[in-house]
Amino acid sequence: MKLPPFQMLLEEHGPDVHRYLAARVGPIDAEDCWQETMLSALRAYPKLRHQSNLRGWLLRIAERKALDAHRAAKRLPVPVEHVPEQPAAAAERPDPALWRAVRRLPGKQRAAVTLRFAADLDYAAIGRVIECSEAAARQNVRAGLASVRREWVR
Amino acid sequence: MNTAEFARRAAAEGLIDVAYAGVDSPFGHLTAAVTDAGIVRLAFEGEELDGVLQELADRVSPRVLEVPAKLDGVRRELDEYFEGRRHAFQTPVDFQLSHGFHLKAREACYAIPFGKVLTYAELAAIAGSPRAVRAAGQAMARNPVPIVVPCHRVLRTGGGLGGYGGGLHVKRWLLDLESGEPSAQRLF
């Protein structure tokens, strides 16, 4: 069982995972989620039994951390005195309002749209991350985009 | 994407099995790797880094991360050694990449003090197999931690240099450094 040195995952996929999380939870929470994702991955890494799709494996962990972050945010809305200056994450730059609309989508659609357009995954890979079929992944992206478009026009 | 913070948290949790970083030397860029047990690998500039790291992932642990801070002690000791101010290394050696007779030969080599030399035949004898001269040569040629395990202090019977993984000019430089020859500075 040959696994590449973890440093290689960090360098090859770390930026993708960060982009995905920035689009998924916003630029402020993305860094925390990224740290949690990579620490979880490093903990589990020596026991990993496959190495065919390490990027998908990392994105799957990232998706779980994003869900955790959403749940935590619902439980604990933290009022802040000063809004931190938002570092412009790559995926946010084209249009922050658009990504805010994406983040208002229901769970699976939100994950599917983000994986499609921020992490550039194909539908089969999206299905593996959010645990559904390729067809269901495609449907989630389509439905998600339709909602975003409606909100956009409004 | 704060990788320094990630490395700090991973280290605090004990999740880094192998930490590596670059170390400058008078003969080019070295790569040093440590485990909790000590220095496990020192690679010369000519060795392909990807191969060195993959071997560590396969044979030690895939939790291999570049963490320069974890190599501070090794880097300082090597600097002092190259400047002629240090004759012995405090950082322990992790011999886990060595087995069988190669392990015995490298442990025997590790005991050769600064400035002294042995022949491959003498090393084989000290390692317990006087006839295994060729194997002693191989153990030195494939020494995972050159300089710290001083395979440059092992020569051919009659005084010939023998071989050296980092190139014979490096072996010559190290021997000159240890004999107090001014030619140690000549390389640059």
Q: For residue B123, what are its two tokens? A: 């090393």
- The CATH code belonging to domain B100-185 is 1.10.10.10
Query: Considering only CB atoms, which chain B residues are within 8 Å of A3?
Result: 57, 62
What residue of A is the nearest CA neighbor of B18?
A: A5
Every domain of chain B and the residues it spans: 3-82, 100-185
What residue of B is the nearest CA neighbor of A16?
A: B1
In which band, very low, low, confident or very high, does the pLDDT at A130 lie, cut at 50, 70 and 90?
A: confident
In which band, very low, low, confident or very high, does the pLDDT at A79 lie, cut at 50, 70 and 90?
A: low
In which band, very low, low, confident or very high, does the pLDDT at B186 lie, cut at 50, 70 and 90?
A: very low
In which band, very low, low, confident or very high, does the pLDDT at A81 lie, cut at 50, 70 and 90?
A: low
Helix (H) or strand (E) holding A36: helix A27-44
- Residue B48 near chain A (CB below 8 Å): no
Q: How far is CA A144 from CA A123, A140, A152, in A?
A: 14, 6, 12
User: What is the SS3 assignment for A26?
Assistant: coil
pLDDT confidence of residue A1:
62
Mean pLDDT of B85-95: 96
ipTM: 0.90
User: Per-residue pLDDT tens for A83-127?
Assistant: 555 544 444 456 777 878 888 888 888 889 988 888 888 899 889
Query: Considering only CB atoms, which chain B residues are within 8 Å of A46?
Result: 17, 61-63
Q: For residue B147, what are its two tokens? A: 């300089």
User: What is the SS3 assignment for B40?
Assistant: strand
What residue of A is the nearest CA neighbor of B61?
A: A46
- The CATH code belonging to domain B3-82 is 3.30.160.70
Interface contact flag, A4 B1, Cβ < 8 Å = no
- B188 pLDDT higher than 50: no
Computed on alpha carbons and rounded to an integer, the radius of gyration of chain A in Å comes to: 16
Q: How many Å from the N-terminal Cα to the C-terminal Cα in chain A?
A: 53
Q: What is the mean pLDDT of chain A?
A: 84
Q: What is the mean pLDDT of chain B?
A: 94
Interface contact flag, B66 A7, Cβ < 8 Å = yes
pLDDT confidence of residue A85:
55
pLDDT confidence of residue A80:
57
For the segment(s) A6-83+91-153, the CATH number from 1.20.140, 1.10.4160, 1.10.150, 1.10.10 is: 1.20.140
The rounded distance, in Å, linking the Cα atoms of A89 and A18 is 9
Mean pLDDT of A124-131: 87
Give yes or no: B151 in active site: yes
% of residues, chain A, pLDDT over 70: 84
User: Per-residue pLDDT tens for B23-56?
Assistant: 999 999 999 999 999 999 999 998 999 999 999 9
Interface contact flag, A46 B61, Cβ < 8 Å = yes
- B14 pLDDT higher than 90: yes
Sign of CA dihedral B74, B76, B78, B81: negative
Q: How far is CA A84 from CA A29, A87, B36, in A?
A: 11, 9, 39
Query: Considering only CB atoms, which chain A residues are within 8 Å of B18?
Result: 5
% of residues, chain A, pLDDT over 90: 43
Residue with the larger pLDDT of the pair A32 and A76:
A32
pLDDT confidence of residue A93:
56
